[in-house]
Every structure is written in C-alpha cells, then in structure tokens.
A and B are shown apart, each in its own frame.
Chain A
Amino acid sequence: MNSGERRAAVTVTAALLACVLWPLRQYRRPRTERRDGFPLSHYPMFSAPRPAKVTVYYLVAETREGDRRYLAHRYIGPGGLNQVRRQVNRRVAEGRATTLARQVAGRVAGHGGVGMIAQVHVVQGRFHLDRCFGQHQVVGSERILATAEVPAAPPMKIMEPDRLRAQA
C-alpha cells in the first residue's frame, strides 16, 4: 500500500466522520429549530418527551349502515404508515383536512374491496395513554374535522397540473 493510497484512505475516513458528526451543530440551536436531514442526521427518534394525553389525526371510514372503522394507511397514501401519518398531520396543520378527505374518498372508491364505505372522515382523536394501554383498549374522544362522500363510481384519475400541461 503506497503513501498516496494511505493519504486517500485517511482523507476519506476523516471526511466521512466529519460529515456524520456534522449534525451535532444542531445542538447549538433551540430545540424547536433543530432540523433533521438525510443521510446526515442527529437521530432525534425516541428522544422527545410524550405527554400522558396525546392528539392523533387519522381517518375513519363509515359504511352505509353506520359502522365505523379506522381507515388503513394504504388507502390514504403510499409510503407506509409513518409517512402517511406525517402527511395527514401536515395537511391538517395547513388547514387542508377537507381536501384530504376528498382525495382519500376518491382513492377508496377506486378500491373494489372497500365498496361498502359511504363516507370518509378526517378525525382529531384525544387519547389517554394510561387508559388505552392499561385497559388494552384504544378509546378516546374524537372530533370530526372534515367529511367526504365516497363516489359511487370510480372517479377519474386526478392529474397533477404539470402532467396535464405535459399531455397538452
């Protein structure tokens, strides 16, 4: 192994470690202003304290008979549970719960297996963790933020504006 090769190896390793540790500078910022990144992160998962009572935004499906059930994340959007959950939070925070309900109702209509669903609600749920996990029952108080009727027939595919332009 020649000295040039050694120098390159030391440089790569030092640069890699400097980059990995770079997010430490986040701790100079106030907690509310810390930003996560990829692939360089300060790994904030599991570090935030959680209150005994939590608020969760989610979607509920209601059948024509009035039965209600939690709507699974795959009917809301792609990317898995956590990504969908974050996107729901973001839309609610931006005041777009009605748009979300409408979009999800459209998606539900496109799924043959959930044809019994008549309405989709965007819900704010308040849960007491000790009660839920102590009694093995997920029960909380709910507030409906938005509702959309599921179209009877599969809706037309919603196109994004830039794709419409491209087709024109």
Chain B
Amino acid sequence: MRAAGTFRLVGWLFRPAPATRLGVVRLLVGGYSLYYLARRRRMLAQIAETDPELFAPVGPARLLERPLRPATARRCTDATLAAGVAFTLGAGHRITGPLYPALLTWTLAYRNSWSMVFHHDNLLVLHAIVLGASRGADAVSVDALARHGWRRAVSAGPANGRYGWPLQAMNAATAATYLLAGLAKIEGELGWRWALGSALRRQVAVDGLRKEVFGSSASPLAYQMYRHTGIFTAMAVTSLMAELAAPVALISPRAGRLWALAAFGMHWGILAIMKVKFRYQLSGIAYLPFFDTGRLLKWRGTR
C-alpha cells in the first residue's frame, strides 16, 4: 500500500515533458523577474538610503545587523541584474542557474527589509530556485544553441522526467503557497467566519482608505460594492475555496489548468476591487508550468 503510494508520487513528479517546455518557462520567468527588477533599480537604490532605523531584516537579510552601505546594496542589485540576463538567456546555466535565484532572493529580501513584506515576490523566488536547480537550459537557451545549433535548440525532442519534475515542483510550490494563504484565514481570529465576507469587506474599505490618505485613490468598485454585503460573502467563499483547494490542482494536468485559471481570475478581481497588484500572478507567468508552454514554439514553427 505504502509502496504503491510512493510509486504514484514518483510517477507524478517525473511526469515527462520536453526540454523546450521547461526552457520556455525559464525564459519567461527569468524575463519577467529581470523586467521587474530593472524597472525598480532606481527605487531599490533609494530604499537602500532609507533611515537605517527602519531596517527590519527578513529572510536571508537577517544575517545583517545593520543595513548595507548604499553603494554595496546598489552593486548587489546590479550583480543580480547581470546574473538575471544570463539566467534568462540560459547562458552558463551550471553557474548562473543557482547564482541568479540566490541573488534574486537576497535582493528581494533586502527590499522587503524596510518594514513591509511584499508577498507577491515569494512565489517568483521559489520558482526561480527550482529552475536554477534543474536542467532548465537544455533547450531554448544560449547553452543549447552553442552545443546543438539553432534547430535542435528549439525543437521539442523526446519528453523526459528530468524536464517534467521542475514543472511539477513549481506547481506544488504554487499550490502550497495558496494553501497557506487559505489556512492563514481560518487560523486567524475569525476562523471559518472569515468566509462570511465581512472581514473581506472591511479589508477592502481599510485598504481603499489608506490609498486615499496617502495621495492615491480607492478603486471606484470598492465604493460601489461596499453596500452589497452578499457580494463579499460570495467573494470570500470563492477565494477561500480556491486557496484551500489548491492541492487539487496537482491531481491532473486538466485540474491544474482549471485551478490556475481560477487563481489568475481571483488576482484580477483583487486588482479591480482593491487595486492591489500581485504582479507575478497577474502576469500569468506564475501559472505557466501548469500549461504546455512548448506549444508556443510549435506555433512559431507553423508561421
């Protein structure tokens, strides 16, 4: 019985996939993270000059007793960007594969060490770590191009468990983070009463209010919906279900795709109502491992 369970788990983990599918995911996750960091380079430099008394280190930044000198912090960001370019292109993956996720984790942990943890960064870091530990640059990469030439670098090749497990591990990490978010709600003060929606309704209002007094504005939808408590009950039940049922996404590829679409829709709903941006999730790239991204290259080939 136990052996059968283990066998099934191993079979699940090593579900075969072509190298191109993993390569496309590496390219897009790397490209997204690079764009995300590059756009914030100036802001990261400014944050590094914040009042040192506001430094509240999280994650690996807890190794520091005091903030880095601003120039050192800037160099760390630039090193992360440089490694990110190599990671995204799949150049020198044996080194840049593990190096970039390590630098990315450091840079984002340091950015989050000034009194606010941005939860949308977590999944990006976890995905980069898996990609860095895998053979994510065996296709759709500079490494593959140098070794095999253009045609083989972008041709699917035979499906293999060595390219499937990173995708499954990324999906498992995604599902686990949503499960944790759901558990946080029912482990909170309200317990299952969170699903009634009144906490969510007030959360939307508090968030909107903060935006107003800090020179931004609440979503017009927040004002319009506030009177309709039933809508918030429906939203709370739906989001709680999506979060607690996240492990179901791992049962089959079809279940995974359906759940990914639901989670993707949930984040766009949060953006419309609260103007809260879970950027990685909103981009859709967080859910790519649930989909056959290798098809992107097939589509390209038929043009």
Interface residues of A (CB under 8 A from B): 1, 5-6, 9-10, 12-13, 16-17, 20-21, 23-24, 27, 31, 36-52, 54, 56, 58, 70-87, 90-91, 103, 125, 127, 129, 132-134, 136, 138, 160, 162-163, 166
Contact = CB atoms under 8 A, between A and B. Distances in A.
A56 B215 CA distance: 13
A79 B47 contact: yes
21 contacts: A9-B13, A9-B166, A12-B133, A12-B134, A12-B169, A20-B126, A20-B180, A27-B187, A38-B122, A40-B59, A42-B180, A47-B199, A50-B199, A56-B209, A71-B214, A79-B43, A79-B46, A81-B216, A85-B210, A132-B205, A160-B49
A38 B180 CA distance: 14
B235 to A, nearest CB: 11
A118 to B, nearest CB: 18
B69 interface: yes
B189 A77 contact: no
Contacts of B173: 16-17, 20
B216 A72 contact: yes
Given A36-B117, A133-B205, A73 B214 contact: yes
Nearest to A82: B116
Top 10 A-B pairs ranked by shortest CB distance?
A72-B215, A78-B46, A50-B202, A43-B181, A133-B226, A86-B115, A47-B188, A58-B213, A38-B59, A39-B125
Nearest to B56: A90
Among the interface residues B47, B114, B116, B190, which one has the most CB atoms of the partner chain A within 10 A?
A: B116
Contact of A46 (B109, B111, B180, B200): B200
Interface in B59-118: 59, 69-70, 105, 108-109, 111-112, 114-118
A83 B14 contact: no
Contacts of A31: 188-189
Interface string B178-203: 00110111011110001000011011
Given A21-B176, A43-B177, A49-B188, 20 more contacts: A1-B160, A9-B13, A9-B134, A13-B13, A17-B172, A20-B173, A39-B59, A39-B109, A40-B122, A41-B177, A42-B184, A77-B50, A82-B118, A85-B214, A87-B116, A90-B115, A129-B205, A129-B209, A134-B227, A136-B223
A136 B211 CA distance: 14
Contacts of B111: 79
A132 B209 contact: yes
Nearest to B168: A13
A34 B214 CA distance: 28
Contact of A86 (B46, B116, B208): B116
A21 to B, nearest CB: 6
Interface in B136-162: 160-162
